Amino acid sequence: MLHPIRALAISTLLLTPPALAQPAGLTETLLHLGETAEVTRAPDEVVASLRAESRAGTAAAAQQAVNRSIAAAVARAQATPGIQVSTSGYWTGRVEEQRNWQASQAVTLRSGDGPALLELAGTLQGQGLALQSLDWTLRRETERAAREEAARLALDSLQRRATAVAEQLGLQLAGLREVRIDAPERSPRPMAMAARSSVSSAAPVAVAEDAVVRATVEAVAVLRPRS
């Protein structure tokens, strides 16, 4: 779906009736315009982050337990078609109140197949990993295309607005200067997660909503007397 948004801030040299819009010697009028447009896309990728943790009397014992858990999780993920897996965030430290050592590491799962990923996340939860986050998001290529479309819509809207203002002033649009397009990348949208019972094999439940991608275009429109 396409949703143009008009967020206009105009600063001109003149905002007077057409009869007074062209004093002697004036060659151009500058309009500072801004337009925002948005498009929506259905999320096409789900990302889950799980963490393995262990406490033991020695750093080596805590780390070995985490290493085994992560190795098993990675092997399980790599054996599941359509799942991309990566690891990050390895940490080891002493738990001061008990003088024990604690180690932890995160594993990230990414896939366009939501049901398969959620089933795998449930399996890893049953193996003792803690689910840290679960997000619906857009693939990079999907988001890039959406940003480009939103920017095009915003630019089209800006040009139409500049033309309309020029006509109100008895002028014509000569062109645009200092065009700036701001289309920030989206952060992942959290999905709703339903509470489950204590059954270890249960997969998390998630419901996604459409992602909104926006782009803002700002420019200086150059208006000149009609030829």
Is the pLDDT score of 187 beyond 90?
A: no
- Quick one: average pLDDT of 85-105? 91
pLDDT of residue 186: 59
pLDDT of residue 97: 72
CA-to-CA dists, residue 140 to 44, 136, 187, 188, angstroms? 10, 13, 11, 11
pLDDT in tens, 31-81: 999 999 999 999 999 999 999 999 999 999 999 999 999 999 999 999 999
Structure tokens at 122: 């449930």
203 — pLDDT class (breaks 50, 70, 90): confident
β-pairing, 130-137 vs 189-190, is antiparallel
CA-to-CA dists, residue 21 to 11, 26, 176, 182, angstroms? 15, 9, 20, 32
What is the rounded distance in angstroms from the CA atom of residue 138 to the CA atom of residue 202? 26
Mean pLDDT across the chain: 84
* Whether 217 contacts 138, CB under 8 Å: no
Is the pLDDT score of 210 beyond 80?
A: yes
- Quick one: average pLDDT of 208-216? 91
With a pLDDT cut of 90, the percent of the chain lying above it is 71
DSSP 18: G
pLDDT of residue 129: 96
pLDDT of residue 204: 82
- Quick one: average pLDDT of 85-94? 95
pLDDT in tens, 27-39: 889 999 999 999 9
- Quick one: average pLDDT of 15-23? 42
CA angle 49, 87, 55 (to 5 degrees): 80
What is the pTM (predicted TM-score) of this model? Answer: 0.68
Is the pLDDT score of 18 beyond 90?
A: no
β-pairing, 45-56 vs 130-137, is antiparallel
Structure tokens at 61: 């014992």
pLDDT of residue 152: 96
